[in-house]
């Protein structure tokens, strides 16, 4: 099923910020990178921690607990201590509404290779 | 751009704090603030991104609390340290200032005169020029880069930028944030694919570097199929008035490569030695940490290997010695994040005269790391009834198809063993030495020969007076 | 179904309780002091992050539960029938339903010898001299953490065992604790005092309803094993899935030349966090600690054991075996602590874990803090999955895979199960393990 669910509005997530949303029992971090919206699993692949609570630096979301960095477009993990990429979700923006598909894709890429 | 820049730090956020950096006259002072961080970067002539990264890390350092576990760090006064530029008050150290105990140790260890002075920080650089130059030609011919990290940043900024902070990000812990803000010195090693560097590279060989900086940042990158062995520190006690030694070591071992990192630490007994050492091992790569902890007032360091692709292996060997007034809290961390990975940890610790020696470790097995095997063995000798030995091993296993074992023993030197040796004409002191040497042998045999010899001599020295 | 009293847990709850039970002033005063501590203390994850960080209590607030209001209409747990049938196998039986005592019996010869086996509420009234100086008698008790102070303030439905000097109680004493009331909390407290050279075995069974909203149990067991005495204690826990057992404690004090064997079986509950401690206080004391835990479904089991050597020549030996299946998670952390002066200590600890499914997780943290030098001390931990060779061997003998797996798991726990007193209890537990394997 390629269904997109509305999870938030652009208003709620201004550029340079990220927010946790819940959809179908899953916790997802939605981030606004200068107008482009990305969605990833809201759980650091290192330890239980919401990524949405961490700073957003450009296209990179930083886990607030130990600084693991994730590249939002690909889910690639860019720095340890996390060693697994984070799953990404396709995003559609319609007007002010942010919709995501729950067909998540596993993230691709490790810190020192694509 | 951001995709290849793991730092992700917004440059705009960290503009210069003052208008004309070159013309600013800086006075050396204790304590740490934004201005000092900016001066460090400016004096080194660093690129913008490193300066911004330092400032970002400094801000994190100020917010982050100290760890609530491990040794007691509450007595460190972060404001009582020179982070950059010590005052030149015209009075340098002289050989006379060096404590007698340290001088005697040098004698007993058979260290040559010039080296003694170098180690004590009172003489000229240890003159290993000719040796150094020959070796330098050889590894340069192979394409190996071996420089102090400051020079590496100047001469190979792209490589540094690609890897810096990717293994130990500044937010990892408070001391990593501090190091990332004020780092200076350390070694940078890059080994191209397929190149094997047969002789161990040593920090000694870094001419033009501080002999033992407080906040070293070391990076080792091993391209696929390469091999290198790096050795740092030395058994001779480092005489320093520095309170805090907080280094970060980041190592990347790619496909089929192998890296061994040997450290012998004998910091003076008023130093806090707090180090973050971490390696990531890719497919069929091997990472080996060999660690000797003898000095310092407090050591907290947990060499780690993250095995992230199939076939990666980790081996961590450590010898820990805690004497009077010392609290050694070292350990090891192995993370199995891929199938068919193997790790082995051996820790041998000795506590005496009220010292406290420990092991604190983590074995973590992620789901999917099938057919992983891990074996940890911690043995502790406790030599009298006012010393202390601690073992805190954490095993977090999330994969059923994995095997994890851990064993630890604590005991004293057995009277039977001592008696047996003495009945063969060996003196009590020498018998004790032999037993202790045998105890630490599995680790010491992995040290380069001259270190093994020095290590044994040093332990013998430390042990004096422990029988009777 | 019995319902709980309204209003949650408050200071007024204690007042009502003390009045209803006609408690002596000293009991009431201690409860109130403990309640003060409870109000002051934050949840333990704040004050003890290292020991509480692996089990997430979420937003659970102990104050939201109520004490059960009575035993009317409480349904009977299924194993009560089992135990009742085994009358010839025991010296005494006491039953607590929904926080109140619902019957006790003790064989005549034990009564004659001065053995006491009654509910704690009666004991504090009728035998204060035996209870007062031992019942949670250390000042530090309430402050240990929030659940300790809550328990000290609200303890309910307890069991008191007293064995006079030199008396041997030949067959086990059995206590059973059942919670059927919905949405309630119970705080059972067992106090056992075995005087010099006495011998006694106490087996406690815990169970609760198999459905209903969340319930809470925060219990405590204090075992005083005086000089030369020998005590065996077993706690078999079979809570229903709605039960959260948090901050419970089994604490043994073992004096000179005395021995304590404790055995803990954890099969039920949604979330279980228990401390099991042996304090070796006198020279030559000995402690054997056995444990079995089997988490299935989404269960969370978090056990912390302590072998505390404070005297010379003492020995302690711990063996805890656990298995996890489905998406359950277990934590075993065990500390051997040898204080200065505890020379000639022998201390051993072994933890073995089986992970039976993808998605299950097992943490093992065996720790040592050693401050004496003349000792022998080892610990070991091993975690793995079912041995494929063993499974294959059994299958090649015509045994279907599921049964083969069960046999291996049963064999894995046998070491500990075999030492549980009472054949019926043993076979009941084996059947329960079999059910969990399905």
B-side interface with A, Cβ within 8 Å?
2-3, 5-6, 8-10, 163, 165-173, 252, 254, 278, 280, 282, 306, 308-309, 335, 337, 366
pLDDT at B123 over 80: no
Residues facing B304 on adjacent strands: B278, B333
* Closest among C375, C379, C410 to C394, alpha carbons compared: C410
* Closest among B262, B214, B198 to B450, alpha carbons compared: B262
ipTM associated with this complex: 0.91
- Mean pLDDT highest for which of A61-65, B42-46, B74-78? A61-65
Which pLDDT band holds residue B83 (cuts at 50, 70, 90)?
confident
pLDDT at B100 over 80: no
Nearest to A62 among B2, B171, B280 (CB): B171
pLDDT at B209: 41
Q: Which residues in chain B have Cβ-Cβ distances shorter than 8 Å to C343?
A: 385
pLDDT at B208: 40
Helix (H) or strand (E) holding C377: strand C375-384
Burial classification of residue B448, based on how many CB atoms lie within 10 Å of its CB (0-12 exposed, 13-18 middle, 19 or more buried): middle
Is the Cβ of B375 closer than 8 Å to some Cβ of chain C? Answer: no
Is the Cβ of B409 closer than 8 Å to some Cβ of chain C? Answer: yes
Nearest to B401 among C361, C380, C385 (CB): C385
Q: Which regions of chain A are under pLDDT 50?
A: none
Is the Cβ of B387 closer than 8 Å to some Cβ of chain C? Answer: yes
What phi, psi does C377 have (nearest 5°)? -145, 125
How big, in percent rounded to 5, are the helix, strand and coil portions of chain C? 25, 40, 35
pLDDT at B90: 40
Residue of B168 and B207 predicted with greater confidence: B168
Q: Which residues in chain B have Cβ-Cβ distances shorter than 8 Å to C357?
A: 400
Nearest to B395 among C49, C341, C383 (CB): C383
Could you tell me how many residues make up chain B?
468
- 8 Å CB contact between B214 and B241: no
C-alpha distances (whole Å) from C78 to each of A60, B297, C431 are 57, 60, 13
pLDDT at B448 over 90: no
- 8 Å CB contact between B252 and B285: no
Is the Cβ of C6 closer than 8 Å to some Cβ of chain B? Answer: no
Cis peptide before A81 (omega within 30 of 0): yes
pLDDT at B28: 66
Q: Which residues in chain A have Cβ-Cβ distances shorter than 8 Å to B399?
A: none
C-alpha distances (whole Å) from B47 to each of B185, B222, C77, C163 are 16, 25, 73, 79
Q: Which residue of A has its CA nearest to B173?
A: A66
Residues facing C264 on adjacent strands: C235, C291
Residue to test with chain A: of B165, B166, B339, most A Cβ within 10 A? B166
Q: Which residues in chain B have Cβ-Cβ distances shorter than 8 Å to C382?
A: 403-406
- CA–CA distance, B321 with B325 (Å, rounded to integer): 12
Spatial neighbors of C202 by CB under 8 A, at least 6 apart, are: C159, C161, C172, C173, C174, C175, C190, C192, C231, C232, C233, C234
List the alpha helices (DSSP H) in B143-264. 149-155, 157-163, 174-182
- Mean pLDDT highest for which of A31-35, B1-5, B181-185, C161-165? C161-165
- CA–CA distance, A48 with B313 (Å, rounded to integer): 26
What phi, psi does B339 have (nearest 5°)? -65, 160
Which pLDDT band holds residue B109 (cuts at 50, 70, 90)?
low
The pLDDT tens digits of the residues spanning B12-35 come to: 666 655 444 445 556 667 888 998
The chains found to touch C (3+ Cβ pairs under 8 angstroms) are B
Which pLDDT band holds residue B2 (cuts at 50, 70, 90)?
very low
Mean pLDDT of B313-333: 95
* Closest among B327, B324, B259, B330 to B292, alpha carbons compared: B330
How many helical (H) and strand (E) elements, i.e. helices and strands, does chain C have?
Answer: 12, 21
Q: Which residues in chain B have Cβ-Cβ distances shorter than 8 Å to A44?
A: none
pLDDT at C89: 78
Q: Which residues in chain B have Cβ-Cβ distances shorter than 8 Å to A63?
A: 171
C-alpha distances (whole Å) from C390 to each of B56, C322, C399, C408, C430 are 56, 18, 12, 8, 20
Cβ distance of C363 and B385 shorter than 8 Å = no
Cβ distance of B6 and A111 shorter than 8 Å = yes
Q: Which residues in chain B have Cβ-Cβ distances shorter than 8 Å to A75?
A: none
In this structure, the strands spanning C345-355 and C375-384 are parallel
Q: Which residues in chain B have Cβ-Cβ distances shorter than 8 Å to A74?
A: 3
pLDDT at B211: 46
- 8 Å CB contact between B369 and B400: no
Is the Cβ of A46 closer than 8 Å to some Cβ of chain B? Answer: no
The chains found to touch B (3+ Cβ pairs under 8 angstroms) are A, C
- 8 Å CB contact between C118 and C160: yes
pLDDT at C51: 86
pLDDT at B78: 87
* Closest among C5, C43, C39 to C185, alpha carbons compared: C5
pLDDT at B451: 75
* Statement: the pTM of the whole predicted model exceeds 0.90: no
Cβ distance of A80 and B167 shorter than 8 Å = yes
Spatial neighbors of B110 by CB under 8 A, at least 6 apart, are: B457
Q: Which residues in chain B have Cβ-Cβ distances shorter than 8 Å to A34?
A: none
- 8 Å CB contact between C370 and C333: no
- CA–CA distance, B294 with B357 (Å, rounded to integer): 10
- CA–CA distance, B214 with B183 (Å, rounded to integer): 8
pLDDT at B57: 95
The pLDDT tens digits of the residues spanning B210-244 come to: 445 689 899 999 999 999 999 887 655 666 666 78
The pLDDT tens digits of the residues spanning B378-436 come to: 999 998 888 999 999 999 999 999 999 999 999 988 888 888 888 888 888 888 888 88
- CA–CA distance, C136 with B190 (Å, rounded to integer): 63
Q: What is the number of alpha carbons within 13 Å of residue C317 lying toward its C-beta? A: 7
Nearest to B6 among A63, A74, A78 (CB): A78
Segment 320-379 of chain C within 8 Å of chain B by CB: 340-341, 343, 353, 355-379
Mind listing the pLDDT tens digit of every residue in chain C (438 residues)? 344 455 688 888 888 888 888 899 999 999 999 999 999 999 988 778 788 888 888 888 888 898 887 654 455 555 555 655 665 678 999 999 888 888 899 999 999 999 999 999 999 999 999 999 999 988 889 889 999 999 999 998 799 999 999 999 999 999 999 888 888 999 999 999 999 999 999 999 899 988 889 999 999 999 999 999 999 999 989 899 999 999 999 999 999 999 999 999 999 999 999 999 999 999 999 999 999 999 999 999 999 999 999 999 999 999 999 999 999 999 999 999 999 999 999 999 999 999 999 899 999 999 999 999 899 999 999 999 988 888 888 888 888 888 888 889 988 998 888 877 777 778 888 888 888 988
pLDDT at B24: 52
C-alpha distances (whole Å) from B368 to each of A99, B308, B338, B339, B401 are 31, 11, 7, 7, 8
pLDDT at B4: 42
Degrees (nearest 5) of the Cα angle C331, C332, C336?
Answer: 150
Residue of C67 and B457 predicted with greater confidence: C67
Residue to test with chain A: of B9, B169, B364, most A Cβ within 10 A? B169
């Amino acid at each position: 099923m390629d269904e997109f669910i509305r999870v938030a509005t652009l208003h709620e997530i201004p550029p340079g910020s990220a927010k946790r949303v819940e959809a179908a029992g899953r916790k997802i971090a939605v981030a606004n990178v200068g107008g482009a919206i990305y969605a990833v699993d809201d759980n650091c692949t290192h330890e239980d921690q919401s990524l949405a609570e961490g700073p957003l630096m450009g296209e990179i979301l930083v886990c607030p607990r130990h600084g693991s960095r994730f590249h939002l477009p690909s889910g690639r993990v860019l720095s340890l201590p996390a060693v697994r990429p984070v799953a990404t979700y396709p995003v559609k923006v319609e007007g002010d509404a942010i919709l995501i598909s729950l067909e998540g894709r596993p993230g691709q890429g490790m810190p020192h290779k694509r | 751009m951001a995709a290849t820049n793991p730092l992700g730090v917004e440059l705009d956020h960290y503009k210069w704090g003052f208008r004309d950096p070159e013309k600013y006259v800086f006075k050396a002072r204790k304590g740490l603030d934004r201005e000092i961080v900016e001066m460090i970067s400016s004096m080194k002539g660093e690129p913008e991104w490193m300066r911004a990264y330092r400032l970002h890390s400094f801000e994190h350092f100020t917010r982050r609390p100290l760890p609530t576990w491990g040794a007691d760090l509450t007595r460190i006064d972060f404001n009582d340290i020179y982070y950059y530029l010590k005052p030149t008050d015209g009075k340098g150290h002289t050989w006379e200032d060096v404590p007698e105990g340290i001088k005697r140790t040098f004698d007993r260890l058979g260290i040559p005169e010039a080296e003694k002075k170098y180690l004590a920080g009172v003489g000229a650089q240890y003159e290993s020029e000719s040796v150094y130059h020959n070796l330098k030609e050889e590894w340069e011919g192979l394409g190996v880069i071996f420089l102090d990290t400051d020079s590496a940043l100047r001469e190979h900024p792209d490589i540094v930028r690609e890897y810096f902070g990717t293994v130990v990000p500044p937010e990892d812990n408070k001391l990593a944030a501090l190091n990332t803000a004020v780092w200076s010195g350390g070694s940078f090693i890059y080994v191209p694919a397929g190149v094997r560097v047969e002789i161990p590279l040593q920090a000694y060989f870094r001419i033009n570097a501080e002999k033992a900086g407080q906040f070293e940042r070391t990076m080792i990158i091993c391209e696929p199929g390469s091999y290198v062995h790096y050795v740092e520190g030395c058994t001779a006690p480092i005489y320093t008035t520095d309170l805090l030694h907080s280094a970060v070591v980041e190592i990347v071992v790619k496909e089929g490569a192998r890296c061994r990192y040997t450290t012998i630490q004998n910091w003076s007994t008023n130093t806090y030695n707090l180090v973050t050492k971490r390696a990531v091992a890719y497919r069929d790569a091997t990472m080996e940490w060999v660690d000797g902890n003898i000095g310092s007032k407090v050591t907290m360091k947990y060499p780690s290997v993250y095995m992230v692709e199939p076939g990666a292996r980790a081996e961590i060997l450590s010898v820990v010695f805690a004497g009077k007034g010392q609290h050694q809290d070292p350990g090891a961390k192995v993370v199995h994040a891929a199938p068919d990975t193997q790790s082995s940890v051996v820790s041998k610790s000795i506590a005496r005269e009220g010292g406290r020696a420990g092991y604190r470790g983590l074995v973590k097995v992620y789901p999917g790391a099938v057919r992983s095997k891990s074996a940890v063995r911690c043995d502790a000798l406790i030599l009298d009834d006012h010393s202390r030995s601690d073992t805190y091993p954490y095993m977090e296993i999330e994969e059923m198809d994995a095997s994890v074992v851990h064993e630890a023993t604590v005991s004293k030197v057995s009277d039977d063993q001592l008696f047996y040796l003495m009945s063969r004409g060996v003196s009590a002191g020498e018998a004790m030495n032999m037993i202790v040497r045998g105890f630490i042998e599995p680790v010491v045999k992995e040290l380069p020969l001259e270190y093994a010899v020095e290590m044994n001599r040093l332990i013998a020295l430390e042990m004096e007076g422990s029988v009777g | 179904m019995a319902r709980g009293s309204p209003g949650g847990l408050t200071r007024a709850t204690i007042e009502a309780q003390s009045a209803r039970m006609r408690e002596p002033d000293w009991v009431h005063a201690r409860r109130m002091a403990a309640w003060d501590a409870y109000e002051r203390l934050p949840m333990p994850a704040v004050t003890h992050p290292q020991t509480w960080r692996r089990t997430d209590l979420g937003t659970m607030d102990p104050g939201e539960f109520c004490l059960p209001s009575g035993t009317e209409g409480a349904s009977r747990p299924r194993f009560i029938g089992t135990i009742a049938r085994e009358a010839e196998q025991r010296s005494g039986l006491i039953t607590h339903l929904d926080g109140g005592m619902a019957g006790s019996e003790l064989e005549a010869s034990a009564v004659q010898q001065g053995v006491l086996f009654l509910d704690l509420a009666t004991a504090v009234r009728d035998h204060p001299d035996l209870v007062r100086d031992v019942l949670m008698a250390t000042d530090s008790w309430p402050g240990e953490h929030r659940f300790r102070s809550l328990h000290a303030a609200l303890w309910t439905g307890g069991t008191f065992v007293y064995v006079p000097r030199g008396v041997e109680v030949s067959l086990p004493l059995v206590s059973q604790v059942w919670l059927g009331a919905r949405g309630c909390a119970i705080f059972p407290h067992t106090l056992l005092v075995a005087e010099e050279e006495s011998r006694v075995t106490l087996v406690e069974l815990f169970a609760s309803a198999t459905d209903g909203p969340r319930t809470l149990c925060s219990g405590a067991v204090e075992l005083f094993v005086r000089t030369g005495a020998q005590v065996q204690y077993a706690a078999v826990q079979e809570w229903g899935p709605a039960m959260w057992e948090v901050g419970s404690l089994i604490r043994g004090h073992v004096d000179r030349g005395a021995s304590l064997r404790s055995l803990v079986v954890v099969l039920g509950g949604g979330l279980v966090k228990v401390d099991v401690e042996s304090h070796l206080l006198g020279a030559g004391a000995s402690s054997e600690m056995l444990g079995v835990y089997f988490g299935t479904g989404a269960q969370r089991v978090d056990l912390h054991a302590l072998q505390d050597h404070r005297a010379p020549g003492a020995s302690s030996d711990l063996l805890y075996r656990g298995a996890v299946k489905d998406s359950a998670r277990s934590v075993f952390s065990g500390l051997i602590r040898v204080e200065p002066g505890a020379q000639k200590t022998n201390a051993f600890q072994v933890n073995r874990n089986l992970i039976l499914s993808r998605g299950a997780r097992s943490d093992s943290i065996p720790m040592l803090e050693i401050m004496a030098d003349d000792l022998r001390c080892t610990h070991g931990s091993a975690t793995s999955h079912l041995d494929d060779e063993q499974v294959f061997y059994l299958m090649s003998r015509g045994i279907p895979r599921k049964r083969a797996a069960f046999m291996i798991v049963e064999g894995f726990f046998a070491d500990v199960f075999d030492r549980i007193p009472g054949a019926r209890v043993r076979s009941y537990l084996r059947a329960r393990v079999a059910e969990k394997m399905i």
